[in-house]
Amino acid sequence: MSSSCCGTPDPNGGAHNNTRWRLILWVALIANAAMFLVEIIAGLAADSRALQADALDFFGDAANYAISLGVAGLALSWRAKAAMLKAATMLAFGLWVIGYAVYGIAVGSSPEPATMGVIGVMALAVNVSVALMLFRYREGDANMRSVWICSRNDAIGNVAVLAAALGVLGTGQAWPDLLVAGIMAGLAIWGSLEVFKQARIELAHG
């Protein structure tokens, strides 16, 4: 999940047909940005912190595609600054989800498992579709492994949301939702700190 898994795709990943590759990256950007909004809104509507935490990953991935399309051709320092901005935003979102989960523990929350299930399946479908698209159109196998690891981790996050939905349904309690949200937001925060570290090294060397 999160920024620790999904790197910025090579903007020349489809060197043979750059226009088509850029189009693919645009589709991936729009799909991830759309799912970010869907999960945030559905997460708030269904009182599910796990959905909101899963949205963090879509945000991070959308930002990666945007960086890839926008600044990858520019100097390394600009990429590093863009990565820092992304990490700062993810850190803020991650802390908000954690804070909101703690608030949920304090005042009680009642996540709706049905909405969590539907949106979780939708998120999984979007992640798998984007992964297949990237696999199909990128050239060479340098990025194959990172696309695979990233997609697998994203799918694990989506499955964790589905598990939380089942847990809420089975127990009639909110803690499975809060637990999954806490773990996922924690991973997102850790991932954003890693991006910070990397970007600082790049800036120091640039």
87: contact with Zn ion by CB under 5 A: no
Burial (Cβ within 10 Å: 0-12, 13-18, ≥19) of residue 194: middle
- Is 61 or 177 the residue whose CB approaches Zn ion more closely? 61
Under the binding rule (CB under 5 A), the answer on residue 154 touching Zn ion is yes
Piece in contact with Zn ion (CB under 5 A), picked from 14-22, 65-73, 113-121, 152-160: 152-160
Cα–Cα separations (whole angstroms), residue 197 to 186, 192, 203: 17, 9, 10
Region of 73-81, 103-111, 129-137, 148-156 interacting with Zn ion (CB under 5 A): 148-156
d(CA 137, CA 134): 5
d(CA 83, CA 43): 26
> Phi and psi for 105 in degrees, rounded to 5?
-65, -40
Segment lying near Zn ion (by CB under 5 A), choices 8-16, 68-76, 149-157, 174-182: 149-157
Binding flag, residue 39, Zn ion (CB under 5 A): no
Given 6, 80, 97, 161, the residue binding Zn ion (CB under 5 A): 6
Dihedral of the alpha carbons of 152, 156, 93, 83, in degrees to the nearest 10: -10
Nearer to Zn ion, 65 or 104 (CB): 65
- The answer to whether the CB of 67 falls within 8 A of the CB of 86 is yes
Nearer to Zn ion, 3 or 48 (CB): 3
Stretch 45-64 residues interacting with Zn ion (CB under 5 A): 57, 61
Closest to Zn ion by CB, 116 vs 130, is: 130
> In this complex, which beta carbon is closest to Zn ion, that of residue 104 or of residue 157?
157
Q: Which phi-psi region, left, alpha or beta, contains residue 125 (left: φ > 0; alpha: ψ -120 to 50)? A: alpha
**Residue span binding Zn ion (CB under 5 A) among the ranges 6-14, 77-85, 162-170, 192-200:** 6-14
